[in-house]
Amino acid sequence: MIQFHIIRDSCQKVILVAMLLLSSFLFSCSVGRQKPIDQLEKLTEEIRLHHKGYSTADWKEAYARYEQIAADMENYQYTNEEAEKIGQLEGECAGYFVKSAINSFDGIKSEIKGFVEGLDKSME
């Protein structure tokens, strides 16, 4: 009976250690996959607050950060709830990126228009 008690206690300790290791592993996986979401949330907030003052270099940096975050996210699988949040954040970032590109294009259109007007004037 004493031997069975010792074996049972040893098994319980092994199971407890295994459960602790598994819990630790699952927690670290959860934290790992949350990091890109947190980074995307931070980037989205920064763009939302400061986009009006962004230079071309700022936009390039923001897009490079976005691409890195997206690449990091490919290493994980997300729940439907997480995927929805990611989609909302990506959509907001994409909206700002498109708006920036359109504004950039408007500047080029004005420059081209001025160039054509200058050519037309010089041809008179």
- SS3 per-residue string spanning 23-49: HHHHHHHHHHHHHHHHHHHHHHHHHHH
Q: Is 8 contained in some domain?
A: no
The pLDDT assigned to 10 comes to 65
Residues present in the chain in total: 124
46 Cβ contact list (under 8 Å, min separation 6): 62
Question: Which is it for the CA torsion 106, 109, 111, 113, positive or negative?
Answer: negative
Reported as half-sphere exposure (CB side, CA atoms, 13 A), residue 123 has a value of 6
Q: Is 9 contained in some domain?
A: no
- The predicted model gives 32-54 an average pLDDT of 95
Where residue 53 falls among pLDDT bands split at 50, 70, 90?
A: very high
The pLDDT assigned to 105 comes to 76
How many beta carbons lie within 10 A of that of residue 85, not counting itself? 15
Q: Is 3 contained in some domain?
A: no
Alpha carbons 16 and 14: distance in angstroms, whole number: 5
Q: Is 107 contained in some domain?
A: yes
Where residue 90 falls among pLDDT bands split at 50, 70, 90?
A: very high
The pLDDT assigned to 28 comes to 46
Q: Is 95 contained in some domain?
A: yes
Q: Is 66 contained in some domain?
A: yes
Asked if residue 69 lies in contact with residue 40, where contact means CB atoms within 8 angstroms, the answer is: yes
Alpha carbons 56 and 53: distance in angstroms, whole number: 10
The pLDDT assigned to 62 comes to 96
Q: Is 81 contained in some domain?
A: yes
How many domains does the chain fold into? Answer: 1
Where residue 121 falls among pLDDT bands split at 50, 70, 90?
A: confident
Q: Is 6 contained in some domain?
A: no
State the residue range of the domain holding 81: 34-122
Q: Which helix (H) or strand (E) holds 76?
A: none
